[in-house]
Amino acid sequence: MRIDMRGIAKRFGAVQALDGVDLEIPPGEVLALLGENGAGKSTLMKLLLGIYGPDSGEIQIDGTPTAIRDPKHAVSCGIGMVFQNFSLFPALSVRDNLRLAKPGLGWWLQRRDVDAALDHLTALAPGIEPSRPVYSLTVGECQMVELAKVLSSGASTVILDEPTSVLLPPEVERLYGFIRDLKASGRSVVLISHKLADVSAVADRIVVMRRGKVVDRARVDERTVEELVEGMVGTADTGQLDELPAPADIPLLQVRSLQAPGLKAVDFEVYRGEVLGIAGVSGNGQKALADALAGVLPVTHGDIVLDGISIARAADGMPDARVAYLPEAPRQNAVAEGLSNSLNLLLRRLPYLPRLPRWGTETANARTLLETFDVRPPVPEMATGQLSGGNLQKLVIARELSGQPDLVVACYPTMGLDVAACHAVYTALFAHARRGAAVVWFSEDLDDLQKYAHRIAVMNSGSLAGILNRSEATRQRLGELMATQHRNAA
């Protein structure tokens, strides 16, 4: 199946999201759709999926003009998409979620399609049992379930939105192999990604978007990494960050024999001005530790002491104003999607305001924050749920990092962000360490952890396998600590 999009334009209020975009998706090809956050990539694909209608332009399928009415119509046309935001029911099993993807079929046809989806899922993630509830899955495993749903629909064109941003290295390699199999079978794959490693691994051709327009098209081997980065972000600063100074000898954060659901007697200290990186295989207590540090998860034993004061058990149940928290999955855990950008930016300060806020002042402050942190569009009145994943992430970062916290807990803060946005986030995050705050930074990017963190701790089965200085934290040593986790868990 061949898809051609011609002269596609889309406007949201005063924002021109797409401006005369042409895109060709031939069969048997992997197309990498590149661009910074807010470039229009996801909007373009949502038009192809029938979520939005174009203001102007035309979509052709095998040469026939086609007005795609809604996502159900898109599926019937052979188009499927795996979004960054999953549509799974956490309380139901994997099998039941796959059944719900086929609501209109009789039991025999439904069973056939669910079995086909489970076959795809086994190839992608062999360890996922169909009876497991979705809430017990890691984010990467949820991604695989969503992909299995799309593949079972028989899609000829499969759109993957940042598919490797939540996957572990073995899962990434399996996904690469699956994409190659889809290509070999004559299907098309559109890969929306900020990771140039994904592009070089599986893509045949690249299309680069910036500010709602296509600015480059080429075969993958016709562009260098530097040329792709420049095409995506123009002249934005994406260079090396300055070396962080050595931390002070004064512990600012002390975690003492900490126990909570998912944690087993965790002990460590973070010094003033220190960036402590937290590494480990996903699902080994990282989220529980982050939630406990931020006051979200109740502590059952031990203590968390920040600058001499316990923050493990606030009597009023309020989060500590001195702690900034960038949680995993910010759309689910950090914003109220139905509220405006302005209100979501105010949520951090709202419990501590002495009086009702003055909305004119707050709107002006919100606009300044949105522009400073490059949230697109920078519209305070816009509902936060309308932002793309990357821009919603930047809004949460703007709210949490614009103050003067003593402790910053950052979970995968650059996940799904483009090169320029990653540089800006690291600059803002490490600025707090430079002024003397303690930064606890959870990441699965070992290269970045080795480059920037003063020390790296590895989590295994709810506890710490070890804490290494930067000079000791080789990939081999980190890998050994992670492998120990598997032996201990077995």
Segment 473-485, tens digit of pLDDT: 998 899 889 876 4
The highest-confidence range among 127-131, 341-345, 447-451, by mean pLDDT, is 341-345
Q: How confident is residue 487, by pLDDT bands cut at 50, 70 and 90?
A: very low
Q: What kind and span of H or E run contains 410? A: strand 407-411
So what's the pLDDT on residue 309?
93
What's the mean pLDDT in 245-252?
95
What's the mean pLDDT in 157-166?
87
How far does Cα 153 stand from its chain's mean position? 25
Whether residue 419 is predicted with pLDDT greater than 60 in this model: the reply is: yes
The pTM of the full predicted model, rounded to 2 decimals, is: 0.72
So what's the pLDDT on residue 235?
61
Whether residue 455 is predicted with pLDDT greater than 50 in this model: the reply is: yes
What's the mean pLDDT in 153-166?
87
Task: For tokens 């031990």, name the residue.
Answer: 302
What's the mean pLDDT in 374-379?
91
The highest-confidence range among 18-32, 172-186, 414-428, by mean pLDDT, is 18-32
pLDDT over 90, % of the chain: 60
Whether residue 267 is predicted with pLDDT greater than 90 in this model: the reply is: yes
Q: Give the pair of three-digit tokens for residue 61.
A: 């399928």
Whether residue 490 is predicted with pLDDT greater than 50 in this model: the reply is: no
Q: How confident is residue 236, by pLDDT bands cut at 50, 70 and 90?
A: low
Question: pLDDT tens across 349-365, in order?
Answer: 877 676 677 778 889 99
The DSSP result for 157-213, as a single string, is EEEEESTTTT--HHHHHHHHHHHHHHHHTT-EEEEE-S-HHHHHHH-SEEEEEETTE
So what's the pLDDT on residue 488?
38
Question: pLDDT tens across 381-416, in order?
Answer: 999 998 888 899 999 999 999 999 999 999 999 887
Q: What is the mean pLDDT of the chain?
A: 89
pLDDT over 70, % of the chain: 93
What's the mean pLDDT in 177-186?
93
Whether residue 225 is predicted with pLDDT greater than 70 in this model: the reply is: yes
What's the mean pLDDT in 444-452?
89
So what's the pLDDT on residue 482?
82
Whether residue 15 is predicted with pLDDT greater than 60 in this model: the reply is: yes
The crossing angle, in degrees rounded to 10, of helices 169-184 and 139-152 is 10
So what's the pLDDT on residue 85?
74
The upper half-sphere exposure of residue 365, i.e. CA atoms within 13 Å in the direction of its Cβ, equals 16
Q: How confident is residue 212, by pLDDT bands cut at 50, 70 and 90?
A: very high
So what's the pLDDT on residue 399?
96
